[in-house]
Structure 1
Amino acid sequence: MNDVILFDRDPRYIPRVAAVHDMCGYGKCSLTAAIPILSAAGCDVCPVPTALFSAHTRYSVFTFHDTTEILDGYLDAWRKENVDLDGVYSGFLGSAEQVAIIKRLYADYPHALRLVDPVMGDGGEIYATYTPELCEAMGTLVDGADVLMPNLTEASMLTGRTYPGQNIDNAEVNGIIDALLALGAKNVVLKGVDRQDGIIRNYVASATSGASGKQEIAHDKLPFMTHGTGDAFASALCGAVMAGRPLAESAHIAGEFVRHAMESTQFQPNHTERGVSFELNLDELTRLVRR
């Protein structure tokens, strides 16, 4: 594929992005990641909190508050104040009904980029608060997505396939990507193929070129894993896209940002549960827009 630029940014302009995600009081994910990462990339982040958690769902004890009932009024207030948006970046949802909230944003801001991280699960498992109804509703956001960013678990759920594990060959990658494009995604970034060779691979493809024209983005794999890398990657990718960088380049920037952040993370207490510590690496994203 030819690397596509999705947002033509005036270097003097700060784009506004609605981040439709949950907020965790403890644990580095969702809005806790999206707000600082997108801000570092020069975006005005407009949070739409889909749920409030005391901590993310990898912890054995957490509180969960679904915010569905307040969101229509929340967006009504935006319209009354003539809030405008350049992008809608969606992630973790609190209920199936919240898909309608995202579609309302699409209707209210038809010119805004649709940046969809279909957060549903990882490692072949669905997240604790997700229902079959929510997963089915999430699938309706694929059609028309300017960028769809699933991991292999989520890609399998969206396409009705059995989760194949992380070690898949090129033919399986092509089959998954083409299936996602057939559902209406304009561009796909498939995350986290791990062939146990010390490399993590992400794949970028567009509807115009299909899976046969995909680009492979490879990064060195670190010898440990931690929570929140998917949210950090998606947020950094969205930030790079809104900085005017081409999509495949944005995926590379996001992957390197996460790798460098993980190198910092290993020295932090309780990092396996708490998540990726990206604070010391935010300057990588600031450099994308620094004049």
Structure 2
Amino acid sequence: MFTKRVLAIHDLCSFGRCSLTAVVPVISAMGFQVCPLPTTLSSNNITYQTCYSSDVLSDTCLFMEKWEEIGCSYQAIYSGFLSDFQQMQIVWEAIRRFSDENTLVVIDPVMSFAGRPLPVYSQDMIEKMRTLIRKATVITPTLIEACMLTGTPVVPSFPSLKDVLRLCHQLSSLGPRYVVITRIPASDIKIKNVSFDGTTHTYDECQIYRVRKQVDGLSDLFASVLTGALLRNHSIHMAMRLSLDFLSYALDYTRQAGSDAREGIQIEPCLRQLLKI
């Protein structure tokens, strides 16, 4: 039986579970072949005080040329954090070369961390991301990223569902069929996600407990499970719920284990839960 392939365009962070070190095990455990296309090699994630990174963009272009030569095909293309215009262009080029009308294109527009915009995201970068998401089937911005993409002032501390759905409609009008807005404050102890189907104009919402410590890789885990669930033909609303269920389980496991939050979520002991999806 043919195994669906996911072209994962992310940075490769050697220490601290995030980006490709989170994406590959999760999507693989869900039964799909992950084909990584690293944008940057990093010694560790950004929760540590120091980090060494090396750009590998010249190699990624050669990767795509060779893939075309040998006839590679992908059923999904999934991108995460992109730090500059060149990396965004790589995603654009990958979509142009390796997608058709049946390809699932997942773009996680990572432009913030710990509730604050990343300094690298100037207005020009935001505009470039706004252009890129036109090619997406589904996008997974946080609330602050949804505001950045729509040019909307940051909504109140506890935004109404009406406010969130307005953002969903605005984002869907740019091109994506599905929009999932994450990390929406729901109360002092909970946050919620809202999924929106731009074709049927249906929505769903689901809450989980807040994460009090800064943990890198949460959006990578969420969007990875979402990608796998959509490849398994779940609806966007069910895919969101399944992703949050796994994230909640993995967060609880990590809390109970008492591990260093900088190392990210303890994915490895939790992967068996993905077999139930």
CA contact under 8 A between 2:19 and 2:220: conserved in structure 1? yes
Alignment partner, residue 235 of structure 1: 224
Shift of residue 85, structure 1, vs aligned partner: 0.5
Of residues 117-126 and 73-82 in structure 1, the stretch that sits farther from structure 2 once superposed is 117-126
Amino acid at match of 1:95: D
Q: Which amino acid aligns with 2:243?
A: A
**Which residue pairs with 1:108 in the alignment?**
97
Provide structure 2 residue ranges, at least 5 long, that are not aligned to the other structure: none
Q: Indicate whether 1:88 and 2:77 are aligned.
A: yes
Inter-partner Cα distance in structure 1 for 2:126 and 2:16: 23
Distance 1:202 1:244 in 2: 20
Distance in structure 1 (CA, Å) of the matches to 2:37 and 2:211: 35
Q: Which moved more, 1:112-121 or 1:222-231?
A: 222-231
Superposition CA RMSD, Å: 1.9
- Against the structure 1 CA distance between its residues 56 and 133, is the aligned structure 2 distance closer, same or farther, given a 3 Å change threshold? farther
Q: Which residue number corresponds to residue 15 of structure 1? A: 4
How far apart are the structure 1 equivalents of 2:106 and 2:14? 24
| Structure-2 residue corresponding to 1:39 | 28
Q: 1:35, CA displacement in angstroms?
A: 0.3
Q: Distance in 2 between matches of 1:55 and 1:35?
A: 17
Q: Is 2:73 the partner of 1:64?
A: no
Q: Provide the rounded CA distance (Å) in 1 between the counterparts of 2:182 and 2:86.
A: 27
How far apart, CA to CA, are the structure 2 residues paired with 1:117 and 1:124?
15
The two structures have a TM-score, normalised by structure 1, of 0.87
Distance 1:282 1:166, change over 3 A: farther
Q: Choose the corresponding residue for 1:269, options 259, 273, 277.
A: 259
- 1:28 maps to 2:6: no
Query: Hey, what's the Cα distance between the residues in 2 that align with 1:241 and 1:15?
Result: 12
Partner SS for 2:134: coil
Distance 1:129 1:49 in 2: 19
Rounded Cα–Cα distance in structure 1 between residues aligned with 2:42 and 2:65: 24
Please give the alpha-carbon distance, in whole angstroms, between the structure 2 residues aligned to 1:263 and 1:154.
26
Higher relative contact order (CA 8 A, sep 6+): 1
**Are 1:117 and 2:105 an aligned pair?**
no
Instruction: Tell me the equivalent position of 1:75.
Output: 64
Alignment match of 2:212 (pick from 207, 212, 224): 224
Q: Partners in 1 of 2:151 and 2:40 — Cα distance?
A: 27
Asked whether the 8 Å contact 1:122–1:153 carries over to 2, the reply is: no
CA contact (8 A) 1:122 1:154 kept: no
* 2:40 counterpart residue number: 51
Alpha-carbon distance change, 149 to 283 in structure 1, aligned in 2, over 3 angstroms: same
Q: Quick one: structure 1 residues 268 and 14, their matched pair in 2 at CA, closer, same or farther if it must change by over 3 Å? A: farther
What TM-score results when the alignment is normalised by the length of structure 2?
0.91
Q: CA deviation at 1:250?
A: 1.0
Match of 1:149 in 2: 140
Corresponding residue for 2:184? 193
**Cα distance, 1:132 vs. partner?**
4.4
Aligned residue-pair number: 273
Find the aligned partners of 2:63 and 2:124 in 1 and give their Cα distance. 24
Higher helix share: 2
CA distance in 2, matches of 1:245, 1:90: 20
Aligned with 1:181 (options 149, 172, 176): 172
Q: The residue matched to 1:25 in structure 2 has which SS? A: strand
Q: Is the 8 A contact 1:123 1:153 kept in 2?
A: no
Instruction: Give aligned-pair identity as a percent.
Output: 29
Tell me what 1:135 maps to. 126
Match of 1:214 in 2: 203
Query: 2: distance between equivalents of 1:251 and 1:260?
Result: 14
User: Do the aligned partners of 1:96 and 1:133 also contact (CA within 8 Å) in 2?
Assistant: no
User: 1:174 aligns to what SS in structure 2?
Assistant: helix
1:197 Cα offset (Å): 5.4
Distance, in Å, in 1 between the alignment partners of 2:211 and 2:84 is: 35
Matches of 2:246 and 2:157 in 1, distance apart? 21
Say whether the 8 Å CA contact 1:241–1:247 is kept in structure 2.
Answer: yes
